[in-house]
Structure 1
Amino acid sequence: MSELKTLPHVALGVYPTPLYKLENISAKYGRNIWVKRDDLCGVALGGNKVRKLEYLLAEAKAQGCDTVFTTGGAQSNHAMLTAACAARLGMKCILILKKRGVTEHLGNLILDDIYGADVRFMDTDSYGDIYDEMDRVDAELAKAGHKSFHIPVGGSTPLGAVGYTNCVREIKEQLPRHGAEVSHIVSATGSGGTTAGLLLGARVYLPHTKVTGMGVDTDPFEDIVPDLAAGAAELLGTSLDRVPGDFRMVYHVGQGYAIPNPEDTPYIEELARLEGILLDPVYTGKAWAGMLKLLQNGDFDGEGDLVFVHTGGAAALFAMGLA
């Protein structure tokens, strides 16, 4: 995919991130389980959004923008990482967040302040309302000579998804050192872009590997993810050549988005105590618990190794703890 080299890109993370077998977890569950540590990407507390932002903010700079807008929930990991990366590039960051969840000065909201973001709350359940507010503030800034770039929730656009196509290329290059044959890549799905990039990357680099998205929200990701993946493929001058069974969505939302599931807590604690790895209770933790429940139910029987993509979010532990 030669077009990958022609897309605007700025190096923000430290890559490749580690890939290694979870020895104690694998022994307990009787299956080789690997972790791709994108929480160790070198920016803030890490996470999947940095790979996306390397393309999105590069496009913003290429357009001559000096300000970036984005949105999410009050404890949005994406918003926090956007603030961190924008600060590094000398850009002003305005976060217009839903006034939902933990809005006290805890967790990611502390980090938003540290990175100098202009944080604003809207009492709405509609991202449409927030995007309208972005347009209004943008118009005010334009009068003062500023140019803004808008990033939708989660950075989930075809351009953002390109970053996770790269992630699968990394995994392919790392696997031979370990002698692993991976049958499944699993990740949390909260807005769709990461899983879309994994789907496209798997079709290009690991065509015998399936992708499972663990939905932590109720959007129709079985449609959203392939659409984003096809858009990313177009940017890269290729096509999304699907085969039956290459991708599926499994939803593990519980009481709702950004609400911890009490039944997931033992799985999160187990990973911490057996492997020293922290997961948040509303995003990556839900995906991890959901994957292990599938495994216990025989869902992956007859298949090879699993790779779980750790997409970050540990700051939420310092805002809400575990259920």
Structure 2
Amino acid sequence: MQTLTFPPRQSLGLYPTPLQHLDTISARYGRDIWIKRDDLCGVALGGNKVRKLEFLLAQAKAQGCDTVITTGGAQSNHAMLTAACAARLGMQAILLLKARGVMERRGNLVLDDLYGARVRFVDTDSYDDIHAQAQQLSLDLEKQGHRAFWIPLGGSTPLGTLGYAEGVRELAEQAQALGFRPGHLVCATGSGGTAAGLFLGASRFLPEAQVHAVCVDHGPFRQITLDLAAQASDLLGCPAPDPAALTVESHVGPGYAVSAPEDSPRIRELAQAEGILLDPVYTGKAWSGMLDLLEQGAFDDRGDLVFFHTGGAAALFAMDLA
């Protein structure tokens, strides 16, 4: 296995996370399917953002920051996990959340409060507006003797992307120990960083694997993923991965952060067959999209399927399955 030198990171999660074979689901769909349980990473209700935050918050601490500002939707899993990790490091989290969706004190908003985050709702559809507010807030905090660190949507920066490049190294070691060959890596994509990390990591540690990003929002995610992977490659001093190894599929349904009726039976199926919970708007959509692709014959026989469970279970307590 190739070696890479990663930048410093802050230990936050409990790794490696479990890699679980889905016995019942595999038999039902006629294909070996595994699930990488990053929902069990040991922080809050788990999720993919913790791997990114290990690198991002290490940089924040190195810069002497005592406050973290980030953004997302009202029920943002990324924002909640940022609050959890910041609290653990003795930092204040300020969450600038879009005033859209479920804004009642349910789901992740309950957890934001438990972790001591300061939540501000911003009535806008533009993350540019939120970024401008974050810049002004940082200046105001500086006048008060604080130093703030800005984390963009989803932690999807070149540095944050390295979290899942490292995650693929972890997966490759587990798969080797278990005696199987991952041929297809599947994840939900809402801001591009996780898919970019898998794409970069696979090119170094599982070069025969194809990465499949299932989009849960509208946007140019293929180009976003390619750009993030290339920039993260520069940080590691290695070549950018081959674009042919990345497949991007859309499974947005009725809209971002809105559950789709056709996905609910598959969320229930996994819960009842394997005891695993998916949320209705991120992992649930990606899981359902993966099974659609499987039934359409989209996955060749290069190896087993590995689905990355990127968390989000709190959404089950904020919205109903469609």
Q: Secondary structure at the match of 1:230?
A: helix
Aligned to 1:91: 91
What SS is found at the alignment partner of 1:3?
coil
Q: What amino acid sits opposite 2:105 in the alignment?
A: H
C-alpha displacement of 1:2: 4.4
Q: Does 1:273 align with 2:275?
A: no
The answer to whether the Cα contact below 8 Å between 1:3 and 1:235 also exists between their aligned partners in 2 is no
Q: Which residue of 2 aligns with 1:256?
A: 255
C-alpha offsets along residues 236-283 of structure 1, whole Å, 9 cap, x if unaligned? 111113163x00100000111000000000000000000000000000
- What does residue range 124-143 of structure 1 map to in structure 2 within 5 Å? 124-143=124-143
Tell me the equivalent position of 2:177.
177
Q: Secondary structure at the match of 2:103?
A: coil
Could you state the TM-score of these two structures normalised by the residue count of structure 1?
0.98
Structure 2 gaps of 5+ residues are none
The Cα shift of 1:302 comes to 3.5
Q: Which residue of 2 aligns with 1:122?
A: 122
- Tell me, yes or no, if structure 1 residue 242 matches structure 2 residue 258: no
Q: Alpha-carbon deviations, 1:23-78, whole Å to 9, x = none?
A: 00000000000000000000000000000000000000000000000000000000
For 1:57 and 1:241, the matched residues in 2 are separated by: 26
- Equivalents in 1 of 2:295, 2:33: separation in Å? 13
Q: Which letter does structure 1 place at the counterpart of 2:256? A: Y
Aligned to 1:23: 23
Letter in 1 for 2:37: R
- The equivalent residue for 1:304 is 303
Query: What count of residue pairs does the alignment treat as equivalent?
Result: 320
Q: Quote the Cα distance in structure 2 between the aligned partners of 1:294 and 1:3.
A: 35
Question: 2 CA distance for matches of 1:61 and 1:149?
Answer: 9
For 1:311-322, list aligned pairs within 5 A.
Answer: 311-322=310-321
Name the CA distance, whole Å, in 1 between partners of 2:317 and 2:26.
28
State yes or no: 1:152 paired with 2:152.
Answer: yes
**Aligned-partner SS, 1:212:** strand
Alignment deviations for residues 103-162 of structure 1 (CA, whole Å, 9 cap, x no partner): 000000000000000000011000000011111111111111111000000000000000
Cα distance in 1 for residues equivalent to 2:197 and 2:87:
25
Where structure 1 has 5 or more consecutive residues not aligned to the other structure, the ranges are: none
Which letter does structure 1 place at the counterpart of 2:307?
F
CA root-mean-square deviation: 0.9
Task: Show CA shifts across 1:290-314 (max 9, x none).
Answer: 0001111111144421000000000
> Identity over aligned residues, as a percent?
64
Question: For residues 198 and 143 of structure 1, what CA distance do their matches in structure 2 show?
Answer: 40
Alpha-carbon separation, structure 1, partners of 2:301 and 2:225:
26
> Is the contact between residue 80 and residue 112 of structure 1 (CA under 8 Å) also seen in structure 2?
yes
| Separation (CA, whole Å) in 2 of partners of 1:270 and 1:18 | 21
Is the CA contact 1:8–1:62 (under 8 Å) kept in the aligned structure 2? no
In structure 2, the partner of 1:188 is 188
Counterpart AA for 1:232: A
1:291 paired with 2:290, answer yes
In the alignment, is the contact (CA less than 8 A) between 2:187 and 2:308 conserved in 1? Answer: yes
- Contact kept? 2:226, 2:243, Cα under 8 Å: no
How far residue 177 of structure 1 moved from its aligned partner, in angstroms, is 2.4
CA distance in 2, matches of 1:49, 1:39: 10
Answer whether contact 2:199 2:241 (CA < 8 A) is retained.
no
Contact 1:22 1:33 in 2 (8 A): yes
Tell me the secondary structure at the aligned position of residue 12 of structure 1: coil
Q: CA deviation at 1:8?
A: 2.5
Aligned to 1:163: 163
* TM norm structure 2: 0.98
CA distance in structure 1 between the partners assigned to 2:241 and 2:90 by the alignment: 39
Q: Secondary structure at the match of 1:8?
A: coil
1 CA distance for matches of 2:308 and 2:66?
32
* Residue 35 of structure 1: aligned partner: 35
Structure 2 CA distance for partners of 1:243 and 1:124, relative to 1, 3 Å: closer
Aligned pair 1:3/2:5, yes or no? yes
